[in-house]
Structure 1
Amino acid sequence: MTERKQVLLRLDPAVYDALARWASDELRSANAQIEFLLRRALAEGGRLPGNAKPIPRRGRPPKVPEPPAQPADGPATRNDQDQDHAP
């Protein structure tokens, strides 16, 4: 993992509380919300560097779909027998 720059940020407690609630609404940490907002402001101002890496994804990895189950080659089940004799 590449090293990320650490910055000390002093905020008014009321501003931090509002930011933390907003971050929670969007399922982000307060730190991730600050970075998201800073990147958006830089992009809107035409100042986001082209070599800026995307925000790293956090949390649980996506689920890998399981392959479909193959039918067993065993004896016929009751449902198989009912379908064979359906009108």
Structure 2
Amino acid sequence: MAEKKKFLLRIDEKIYAALEKWAADDMRSINAQIEFLLNDALKKSGRLPQKADDKDNPTKPNP
């Protein structure tokens, strides 16, 4: 598993509360929910670099 970068995130209380509820609904931790949302947004915008194994197989659909 790849090493994960740690950093401090300051966030509005109302946003945190909404994320907390959403994460619970999806059975995730708040950290996992934020990572999921960021990953999804990056994929949709085309800003997430492809993994090396995905580059080797261009016919493989992106999840």
Q: Map Cα deviations across residues 2-37 of structure 1 (whole Å, 9 max, x no partner).
A: 321012110001100000100000000000000000
**1:29: which partner in 2?**
29
TM-score (norm 2): 0.75
RMSD over aligned Cα, in angstroms? 1.5
Q: Percent identity?
A: 58
Kindly name which structure, 1 or 2, has the bigger radius of gyration based on alpha carbons.
1
Determine which structure has greater relative contact order: mean sequence separation of CA pairs < 8 Å that are 6+ residues apart, divided by chain length.
2
Moved segments of 4+, more than 6 Å: none
Bigger helix share: 2
TM-score (norm 1): 0.56
Aligned length: 52
Gaps of 5+ in 1: 53-87
